[in-house]
Structure 1
Amino acid sequence: MEKIVILTGAGISAESGLGTFRDEGGLWAQHRIEDVATPEGFARDPALVQEFYNMRRLQAAQAQPNTAHVALARLQRDFPGEVVIVTQNVDGLHEKAGATGVLHMHGQLDSALCSACGQRWPAPMRMTVGEPCPSCKTSTARPDIVWFGEMPYFMDQIFDHLVSADIFAAIGTSGQVYPAAGFVQEAAAAGAHTIELNLDPSAVVSQFDDTRFGPATRTVPVWVEELLAR
């Protein structure tokens, strides 16, 4: 049974109206990453960080999956083998499109996390500073997001999938953030065929066997059709 492992990044959600780190004029452009995406930034100004993620949570809640998300959900449903989706995105659009079992390595906007006991619970649309944990009652609630300097989630599972993949695809990723940028090497070393689908070449494009460039809403559905027609 063939196994496909897919890594998705911000590029797949850009056409749903969700900006990337590098978009000019977007939400990220208004803040320094150190201020809103690090544990130190949260310790320094928790109100700023909570408000930043409140805005992102609202954007994600209003966004709709595009044809690339829908195509991957269809691949997962109709492919005769196994399809594992790993995402760097925190927007939940894969699930909105119908995907299941998605490994959110950078966390999820719709989840809250207790810094003290590690409890997770559904995040309200608007989180506030000092919100109590429903488990330990400590006022240390934070967005369940992996910030810079923190270890991504599900790494053991992800590497197990990478070394057993027949096909590894990276979609809409910059290739600049590790450990995700190193996934292609892991999969290739284990014998997987590797393909990058991206608007522009990533920083690690030379490591892929195959490349497709263009908007994800165009390249991903075509690739999925090819896989399902084999």
Structure 2
Amino acid sequence: MRIFVLTGAGISAESGMGTFRDSGGIWERFDPMKLATPEAFAADPETVQAFYNARRANLRRAEPNRAHEALAHLETGLAAASGSLFLCTQNIDDLHERAGSLHVHHMHGELFKARCTACGAVHDWRDDLGTGDNCAACGTTGRLRPHIVWFGEIPFGLDAIGEALAGADLFVAIGTSGSVYPAAGLVREARMMGLRTCELNLEPSDNADVFDERAYGPASEVVPDFVARLLAEMR
């Protein structure tokens, strides 16, 4: 079996990472147009860097939860049965990797990486990032930005996502709002391809009616239960 899993902020909420569009979410408390656009970075890089430095510090304190661990277990189980898992995440945290997932596609970038706007080099970066930092590749000062897909930018690896979806047997969305495109449109593409579709979420997403199956509750409960049932079906 080949499974395409899309994860959103809801899978990391129990690990202490904030969601974005829920009540009390990040974009309810902060203006994304002042913090998450190329224009905002050009106009006020210090404020943008400070926002992502705070999020980076939060991520350093966070730990994977049982939902992340269940998906790592699913990857292992599928590989043992000559299947595969394409784990596509909208999240910029590294909790999937820390839980043991070996192959993770970060369509919206990674918080623990920085990109040089002068030469395009991408660097691992776990500490604070500032306008005085240098690019190790080209030596330019003040041109490093978070390796994040901001509003108005194109998500990473859309061709790879489309190819993986076309080759899948099952599409699963976990902890997504169903309101952020192009990710929110993947379930409709999956349905058009004849894939079985499933939503695992704390509550129904904006596009919940498109899914064939739905299970609601904390990610640390519904995801391990779903993975256990799926692996049992394969035996």
Give per-residue Cα distances to partners, 1:115-157, cap 9 Å, x unaligned: 1221101114110114221112222100000000000001100
- Distance, in Å, in 1 between the alignment partners of 2:28 and 2:210 is 30
Contact 2:172 2:200 in 1 (8 A): yes
Q: Secondary structure at the match of 1:76?
A: helix
C-alpha RMSD over aligned residues: 1.3
Q: What amino acid maps onto 2:140 in structure 1?
A: T
Aligned to 2:128: 126
- Distance, in Å, in 2 between the alignment partners of 1:59 and 1:29 is 18
Aligned to 1:90: 92
Q: What amino acid maps onto 2:119 in structure 1?
A: C
Q: Secondary structure at the match of 2:12?
A: helix
How many percent identity over aligned positions?
A: 52
Give per-residue Cα distances to partners, 1:176-206, cap 9 Å, x unaligned: 0100001111122122100000111111111
Which stretch shows the higher mean deviation, 2-11 or 30-39? 30-39
Residues 181 and 23 (structure 1), Cα distance of their counterparts in 2 relative to 1, 3 Å cut: closer
- Distance, in Å, in 1 between the alignment partners of 2:45 and 2:110 is 18
Give per-residue Cα distances to partners, 1:64-123, cap 9 Å, x unaligned: 000000000000011221011000001100001000110000000110001122110111
1:29, distance to aligned residue in structure 2 (A): 4.4
Q: What amino acid maps onto 2:150 in structure 1?
A: W
- Distance, in Å, in 1 between the alignment partners of 2:218 and 2:34 is 31
- Give me the TM-score of the superposition, normalised by structure 2: 0.94
- Distance, in Å, in 1 between the alignment partners of 2:22 and 2:212 is 28
Q: Secondary structure at the match of 2:231?
A: helix
Q: What amino acid maps onto 1:188 in structure 2?
A: R
Aligned to 1:177: 180
- Distance, in Å, in 2 between the alignment partners of 1:9 and 1:95 is 15
Residues 218 and 34 (structure 1), Cα distance of their counterparts in 2 relative to 1, 3 Å cut: same
The partner residue of 2:112 within 107, 110, 113 is: 110
Aligned residues, how many?
229
Q: What amino acid maps onto 2:33 in structure 1?
A: E
Q: What amino acid maps onto 2:76 in structure 1?
A: R
5+ residue gaps, structure 1: none
- Give me the TM-score of the superposition, normalised by structure 1: 0.96
Q: What amino acid maps onto 2:49 in structure 1?
A: Q
- Distance, in Å, in 2 between the alignment partners of 1:228 and 1:30 is 40
Q: Secondary structure at the match of 1:20?
A: coil
Q: Secondary structure at the match of 1:51?
A: helix
Which stretch shows the higher mean deviation, 74-83 or 164-173? 74-83
Which stretch shows the higher mean deviation, 121-130 or 27-36? 27-36
Q: What amino acid maps onto 1:145 in structure 2?
A: I
**Where do 1:64-79 residues align within 5 Å?**
64-79=63-78
Residues 29 and 125 (structure 1), Cα distance of their counterparts in 2 relative to 1, 3 Å cut: farther
Contact 2:21 2:177 in 1 (8 A): no
Contact 2:8 2:90 in 1 (8 A): yes
1:160, distance to aligned residue in structure 2 (A): 0.4
5+ residue gaps, structure 2: none
Residues 71 and 116 (structure 1), Cα distance of their counterparts in 2 relative to 1, 3 Å cut: same
Aligned to 2:4: 5
Aligned to 2:36: 37
